[in-house]
């Protein structure tokens, strides 16, 4: 995709500053940045605290001062302790009035149940995300389930010893998200949301999760992007076994295009990983170019021989992958092949000899 302007580099107005665990940095008046640890290669998540003012449920004529939290961190002792520190370092004696979650992934959703209960605060999130979280938390259809293993095998990842490792991660989600609140206030695409003195609008995005909800404040040019727009890594875009025909790369690219049309380049993007930055258009262009390049490499490979998603891994991932990363990499490889398949650029065939889906470019001459 070409851009009318030469790409400007992203700018980070806070430089190398990072909030210490349990403390916050104010990034705009009444908007505070928290950073919590994660026990993965991606070792942190950003959470946001917004000053808020909501009607007092016990006294309709009164407004209650407090905070809205956006995203929660995973449920482990270290993150609970960090939140307890935030109570003394940052909350100024005011309560958390509501908990907004951008999407159901464990680093965003994990402690929602704990924060909602601790503060008697309601959960606000997209309905599809909420339902997906409840299903994943009930732990019957997770990453290591028989259905997921069958799905991976159908895409060429069928070595017994590899799948045994995936199986061990069956309870992965529920370990980090042991409970989900029993009820929610539903966020919808385009829904206006008053938080304190600011008017925000929900912006849903597809591809990374079922119904990701970002928040846009036009008056102050602030964008809480969740995992839909990250400054230095590309979001995981995977096909999952419960939706085996999906086309999330195309959905993601379409969502980015919508976002590009809505946001000015100079807005301050508050992402879930990495630092707040400016240059939304540049970053969206980079991500679209990145996916386009991978799709073209993959299409080329499918011209030479029919490829399964497993065959596509070395084309898409130049680094070596450990077995935990393999499940995510497989999901991404299937997603890229599906983007070509749904666009009519490759055809898909289930090989009767081994039950594996292979994709072949339609430009190849048949004989």
| Residue numbers at the binding site for Zn ion (CB under 5 A) | 105, 227
Q: Which is nearer to Zn ion, 235 or 361 (CB)?
A: 235
Q: Which is nearer to Zn ion, 105 or 283 (CB)?
A: 105
- Residue 346, classed as helix, strand or coil, is strand
CA distances from 4 to 8, 121, 262, 267 (A): 12, 46, 17, 19
Q: Which is nearer to Zn ion, 211 or 227 (CB)?
A: 227
- Residue 174, classed as helix, strand or coil, is helix
Q: How far is the CB of 52 from Zn ion (least distance, A)?
A: 24
DSSP-assigned beta bridge partners for residue 25:
33
- Residue 357, classed as helix, strand or coil, is strand
Angle value at C-alpha 123, between 118 and 127, nearest 5 degrees = 155
Q: How far is the CB of 226 from Zn ion (least distance, A)?
A: 7
Q: How far is the CB of 272 from Zn ion (least distance, A)?
A: 7
Give CA–CA dist 120/97, Å, rounded.
8
Give CA–CA dist 136/76, Å, rounded.
18
Q: How far is the CB of 106 from Zn ion (least distance, A)?
A: 9
Q: Which is nearer to Zn ion, 129 or 227 (CB)?
A: 227
Q: Which is nearer to Zn ion, 21 or 234 (CB)?
A: 234
Give CA–CA dist 176/258, Å, rounded.
32
Residues constituting the chain: 367
Q: Which is nearer to Zn ion, 22 or 110 (CB)?
A: 110
Residue whose CB is nearest to Zn ion in the complex, by number: 105
Rounded to 10 degrees, the C-alpha dihedral 37/40/46/52 comes to -70
DSSP string, 36-100: EE-SSSS-EEEEEEEEEEEEETTEEEEEEEEEEEE----SSHHHHHHHHHHHHHTSTTPPEEEEE
Q: How far is the CB of 355 from Zn ion (least distance, A)?
A: 31
Q: Which is nearer to Zn ion, 109 or 195 (CB)?
A: 109
DSSP-assigned beta bridge partners for residue 186:
125
């Amino acid at each position: 995709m070409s851009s009318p302007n030469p790409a400007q580099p992203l700018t980070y107005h806070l430089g190398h500053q990072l909030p210490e665990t349990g403390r916050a940095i104010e990034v705009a008046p009444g908007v505070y940045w928290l950073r919590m640890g994660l026990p993965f290669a991606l070792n942190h998540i950003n959470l946001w605290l917004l000053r808020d003012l909501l009607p007092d449920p016990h006294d309709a004529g009164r407004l209650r001062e407090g905070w809205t939290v956006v995203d929660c961190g995973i449920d482990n002792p270290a993150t609970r302790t960090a939140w307890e520190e935030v109570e003394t370092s940052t909350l100024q004696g005011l309560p958390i009035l509501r908990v907004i979650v951008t999407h159901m992934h464990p680093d965003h959703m994990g402690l929602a149940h704990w924060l909602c209960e601790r503060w008697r605060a309601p959960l606000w999130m997209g309905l599809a995300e909420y339902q997906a979280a409840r299903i994943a938390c009930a732990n019957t259809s997770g990453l290591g389930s028989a259905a997921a293993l069958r799905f991976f095998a159908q895409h060429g990842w069928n070595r017994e010893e590899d799948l045994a490792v995936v199986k061990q991660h069956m309870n992965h989600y529920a370990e980090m998200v042991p409970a989900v609140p029993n009820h929610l206030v539903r966020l919808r695409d385009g829904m206006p949301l008053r938080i304190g003195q600011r008017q925000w609008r929900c912006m849903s995005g597809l591809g990374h999760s079922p119904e990701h909800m970002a928040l846009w404040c036009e008056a102050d040019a602030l964008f809480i992007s969740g995992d839909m727009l990250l400054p230095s890594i590309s979001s995981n875009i995977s096909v999952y076994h419960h939706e085996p025909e999906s086309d999330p790369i195309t959905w993601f690219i379409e969502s980015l295009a919508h976002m590009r049309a809505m946001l000015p380049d100079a807005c301050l993007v508050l992402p879930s990983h990495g630092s707040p930055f400016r240059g939304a258009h540049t970053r969206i262009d980079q991500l679209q170019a990145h996916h386009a390049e991978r799709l073209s490499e993959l299409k080329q490979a499918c011209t030479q021989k029919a490829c399964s998603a497993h065959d596509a891994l070395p084309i898409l991932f130049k680094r070596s992958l450990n077995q935990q990363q393999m499940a995510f990499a497989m999901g991404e490889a299937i997603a890229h092949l599906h983007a070509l398949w749904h666009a009519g650029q490759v055809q898909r065939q289930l090989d009767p000899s081994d039950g594996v889906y292979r994709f072949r470019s339609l430009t190849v001459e048949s004989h």
